[in-house]
Structure 1
Amino acid sequence: MAERPVEADTEAAGIRDVQAQTRAWAALWRRSSPSSVVHVDATALSDGTGQDADDRRRSVRDALASAGAPARDRDLIDDILAEPTGAAGPCSRFLVVAEGEQLVNSVLSRPTVPGEIVAYTAVPDLLPLLLDRRGDALYLVVEAGREGGEIHVLRASQPSALRRTDVQGRADSLNKVQAGGWSHSRYQHHSEEIWKQNQTLLAAAVDGLVRELRPRFVVLAGDLRAVQLLSDEFSPGARAISSTVQTHVRAAGSSRGALDEHVAHTLGKLRKADESAAVDRLAAGDFENGAVGVGAVIHALQQGQVDTVLLDLEAIGPRTLFALAAGPWVASAPEEALGAPVLDSVPAAVALARAALVSDSRLMFVAPDRLPERAGVAAVLRWPTGPAVPGTPRWTQTP
């Protein structure tokens, strides 16, 4: 078995769990000193694309200067924007720089959604980064062949494999002989046994990675007979999260289109299942386990009671809230800050997402109309609120 190395920093950043990445974003949001934030369409921004790229980068520099960003921030951002993204399709750049130091430098897989950002602020808008990473999942793609196979460790938010492991078994006697009679049957059986041994080796490698990395799912592709033998050798844990796409990706000239579509479909199903599970938990006990509406969620966050914040960006609207420099991190009015310094008035979605992450709560973006009464925000609580007062509803939609 041989692992083809990937850059150590890339592998460490990609394979580490999503919680570690979330903690890094929370640490960024706990900062109270200002930073320069840029989120722009990366098309035609890199060097070598002519005057248009120079003009676009200059406009970003000018906007940062107008916002009050220091020169060393502007210089570093200009240098980064001039670098090629390495992305194959449309993408955007998301940067956070403070005191001339790069804090975030990400190429996002989508255009500038919800919009471009050029700002110098104590409360950076990280929503584009969070939206790009929503539904992020670690998964395995296993390409099986008669001689063994190859395992790819991937993350939905990363463009290339984080780890690749080759499993090579025996290759002798794998070609089916054409002679007839007893000799043919004996060699055929011998080849089948070697084939099965090779898939047993591959299955052991997959089982080990499932235990080590805990991927959300495993996709099997390659020679159809090899895939069948491989699946039969899986442990119950690996078999429970595996699915098969009938495409021989290891054959010369084969297309990976069917495999890519299968992975995209599986990721979509996972996102919907996670969302449905959270909404079901919210509704359990007639909302005894949840808070619905901005006021109720802010109160629950202030009490440290929130397990998961559910945000409907379409329904939350343009309202603003106050971002605080310390707990409770968010307030609807300065007098509700409980002594914490007020940093700024920011969009409600940013304030609530920030408060969720810095208070160690989960954050989930939900599709429109999934929350009760088209509320823009709701929260699943760590412990029930208790029975409602007789004659009153268990929850109240607050503005």
Structure 2
Amino acid sequence: MSSTDIRGLDLHGLLSEPGAWSTVYTDGPQGEPPGAVESRMRSLKDRMRDAGIPDDDAEAILAVLPDDIGLPAPSARWLVARGGDIVADEGFASGRRGAERITHGTFPEVVPLLRHHGGERRILVVQTGRDGAELSLERLGRTDPEKVQHIEGEEHPITKVSPGGWSQARFQRSVEEVWQHNQSEVGEAVDRLVRAHRPEHIFVTGDAHVRGLLLENIGADALALVVEVDADTRADGADDTALVEAIDETTALAHGGRVSAVRDRAAERDAENGASGVNAVVGALQQAQVDTLLLDERMTDDRQTLLALPEAPWVAIGEADAFDAGPGVPMPAVEALVRAALLTDAEVVFLEDEPAEGEPREEAEPHPPLAALRWPAASITGDVPDGAQPGHPSQAEGEDPAHPASHDDPQEDGHPSQAEGEDPDRQ
């Protein structure tokens, strides 16, 4: 799943087009009375003015922010405006991840959006029973399911009884056949949803026997995604505690697996398949070489900046490695790295530090950026000497990226793309 595949948002367009973008990442509904909401909006307006957001953008944001879009409390909102129009508006069914962000600049800030999006993996919940099932296709962190399907199976006979006499065995076989038929219908629906929507996990609840019948009736692709939950959530008086715990545990393990996969791939071939540290990662991004970028969310607190470039290679450490891509715009390092990753079709994964409720946040330096590369490159594998710059995407083979040549005067030194032996005076 691409990091840019976010419910139809054109992130490439937002990030590649220089302009005057206003970005606000703030609290959504907090369960306050109307008077408190008005007070919070007045305070936000003052903060937007202090951040340099134009009045027309601020008014557009304040016009939609208090709207009830079905979010619970607490929640968060991410909005982008330009020229008095709302360009993007996303709500999240969880509190803010990190500090409030209010900025006005050449490019919008998208890290808060991606952090929430990374936790919104698609799952399928199948609550099955003898008489059918309810199938719910959901996004984690969203309040409303994307799709709900009810399977109403045959209703008679459903329950096994002991009528006695010669008909008992025949009656029991009839009940079992109804159960089997109903779960076959549920299995077909599960397979269709898996083919169409590709959920990452399928959580199946119901009594053990019915779950077993369902698993016999779904395809191999769906079966590989199944997590059985030992609970009958459709039974009278049942709650969904076991289901929620299974979803939380499974998705946490899956995210840990994605992080480990990036680290393992970056460590292959004596780390030639990876780039570690800001300088090395910038060099790999400049060559569109990054497949997956792993970032510690604590970088959002870092004051380091990089240059966001209006054209490829999209990011630079300083003007010396901007490669005539136009004037660079200083941005927080984490935003500049994410922007370059998205514009080169790299996946972005965040290493989250979310302490338990009531626990203090760990005080530690963030892990350095780490990239798993699309192809190995010994020239971009780790520490780059201070002041050295990585190579340009068009760098000649064998050229040392740590010691780029200076070409201040093409007549004296030759054009960077000049063929070996070519006379610079004969263009």
- Could you say which residue in structure 2 is the equivalent of 1:29? 15
In the TM superposition, what are the counterparts of 1:188-199 in structure 2 within 5 Å? 188-199=172-183
Cα distance in 1 for partners of 2:86, 2:70 equals 19
Amino acid at match of 2:332: P
- Could you say which residue in structure 1 is the equivalent of 2:422? none
Shift of 1:252: 2.3
- Could you say which residue in structure 1 is the equivalent of 2:358? none
- Could you say which residue in structure 1 is the equivalent of 2:369? 377
Closer, same or farther: CA 394–83 of 1 in aligned 2, 3 Å:
closer
Shift of 1:394: 6.0
Please say which of residues 175-184 and 230-239 is displaced more in the overlay: 175-184
Shift of 1:196: 0.5
Closer, same or farther: CA 67–394 of 1 in aligned 2, 3 Å:
closer
- Could you say which residue in structure 2 is the equivalent of 1:361? 346
Amino acid at match of 1:381: L
Shift of 1:183: 1.6
Residue 342 of structure 1: SS of its match in structure 2?
Answer: coil
Cα distance in 2 for partners of 1:383, 1:17 equals 19
2:204 matches 1:212: no
Shift of 1:173: 1.3
2:155 matches 1:163: no
Residue 360 of structure 1: SS of its match in structure 2?
Answer: coil
Shift of 1:115: 0.7
Q: TM-score, normalised by structure 1?
A: 0.86
Task: Tell me if structure 2 keeps the 8 A contact 1:169–1:198.
Answer: yes
Shift of 1:244: 0.8
Q: What whole-Å deviation, never above 9, does each CA across 1:154-205 have from its counterpart, x for those lacking one?
A: 1224222101112222111112233223222211111011110111111111
- Could you say which residue in structure 2 is the equivalent of 1:109? 93
Residue 6 of structure 2: SS of its match in structure 1?
Answer: helix
In the TM superposition, what are the counterparts of 1:129-140 in structure 2 within 5 Å? 129-140=113-124
Closer, same or farther: CA 346–121 of 1 in aligned 2, 3 Å:
same
2:30 matches 1:38: no
Amino acid at match of 2:10: A
Shift of 1:101: 1.8
Cα distance in 2 for partners of 1:45, 1:332 equals 44
Cα distance in 2 for partners of 1:276, 1:318 equals 27
Shift of 1:86: 2.4
In the TM superposition, what are the counterparts of 1:290-329 in structure 2 within 5 Å? 290-314=274-298, 317-329=302-314
Closer, same or farther: CA 398–238 of 1 in aligned 2, 3 Å:
farther
Shift of 1:85: 4.5
Task: Tell me if structure 2 keeps the 8 A contact 1:96–1:102.
Answer: yes
Cα distance in 2 for partners of 1:251, 1:17 equals 39
2:383 matches 1:396: yes
Task: Tell me if structure 2 keeps the 8 A contact 1:310–1:377.
Answer: yes
Residue 102 of structure 1: SS of its match in structure 2?
Answer: strand
Pick from 12, 20, 42: which aligns with 1:58? Answer: 42
- Could you say which residue in structure 2 is the equivalent of 1:282? 266
Amino acid at match of 1:36: S
Closer, same or farther: CA 352–230 of 1 in aligned 2, 3 Å:
same
In the TM superposition, what are the counterparts of 1:116-135 in structure 2 within 5 Å? 116-135=100-119
Shift of 1:398: 5.6
- Could you say which residue in structure 1 is the equivalent of 2:327? 342
Task: Tell me if structure 2 keeps the 8 A contact 1:291–1:300.
Answer: yes
Unaligned 5+ residue runs, structure 1? 1-15
Q: TM-score, normalised by structure 2?
A: 0.81
Shift of 1:328: 1.1
Cα distance in 1 for partners of 2:149, 2:113 equals 30
Pick from 81, 85, 88: which aligns with 2:65? Answer: 81
Cα distance in 2 for partners of 1:109, 1:133 equals 11
Shift of 1:133: 1.3
- Could you say which residue in structure 2 is the equivalent of 1:232? 216
Closer, same or farther: CA 223–375 of 1 in aligned 2, 3 Å:
closer
- Could you say which residue in structure 1 is the equivalent of 2:250? 266
Cα distance in 1 for partners of 2:70, 2:176 equals 44
Shift of 1:305: 1.3
Unaligned 5+ residue runs, structure 2? 354-364, 387-427
- Could you say which residue in structure 2 is the equivalent of 1:6? none
Cα distance in 1 for partners of 2:251, 2:290 equals 26
Shift of 1:65: 2.9
State the 4+ residue runs in structure 1 displaced beyond 4 angstroms.
16-19, 43-46
Residue 161 of structure 2: SS of its match in structure 1?
Answer: coil
Amino acid at match of 1:195: W
Amino acid at match of 2:334: A
Closer, same or farther: CA 309–141 of 1 in aligned 2, 3 Å:
same
Cα distance in 1 for partners of 2:41, 2:339 equals 29
Residue 21 of structure 1: SS of its match in structure 2?
Answer: coil
